[in-house]
Structure 1
């Protein structure tokens, strides 16, 4: 898998780099331009964990890692401050799903608020159309490549696991669409992600 070079390093280094990208977006650069401008590096050529939450303060003492949640975390913080509108959120969300590393950032547990259902904003049907179906479609397109990273994912600790074994945004979406909790807590069946999705989402 290839991930932006700016995501690799210590938590603080990645945070500071991402601040620069957020500033670019707030000044008017499109999210597509920002994504296209990123230099990508191979996870196979760079040791370390793929971090989706946190991190534990001790993690940086274990070396450099891919902190894949930082960028969308900071964008959401800017939204809470009133600097990112809901239309801007839609632009970021939909454009991010066009790349596997963008999907990974949104799958991060830290970025679950990007897929939360907000009763004051839209109906369940609208939420399903605007958030659930797009992220599930992106998962069907990119899941195998991401999942192939194996036991390299972390939600902020030095203990790593496969992506499905960790709490993540996809599980939130699937739970709210009626996938039973025992299914979400079990390893993926032989048929993979498609085997547990509601049939109507595969149509």
Structure 2
């Protein structure tokens, strides 16, 4: 489990796509898995084999580590549902270690299980913050509520509004978030990973009688 409070910006050392043709074939279609290597001195300072680290909001398992670098295997499901397959050498990524029992829950409960992706539709700079609109599918948007929580590329954020007609929702980014996460670098048209509040999904299932 994670909190959505990013610990550091990591840098992709390599993304090796496995079991397929060349990259132009379509990540997640031609490729069954990938091996991702990331430089992150802070999150690896106490890393061990099998530890969980969230990369742009995706929970990955450490398989190798050392000298400030860790490697994780990325399965086909993750390549299909997230933006990780589009990473390249030198890409910046948000990193967060799994929360410990004695840590403060500064954001909200984030599982690292990405529900889908969105696209940055607009960015509007302000004097003290920046308003960002993200477009996503109706299947994702139905779980998003004004003043609710959402993880965008692993960052815990508060939803400012939801516009069902345009298929978008709004978030506001403070200077610290702009400086310390990839959200400060993303441009209009970029893809971001989205994880909705897990409570909303459980409530939907209970109401639908899924546990009868």
TM-score, length of structure 2 as denominator length: 0.24
- Structure with a larger share of its residues in strand: 2
- Structure with a larger share of its residues in helix: 1
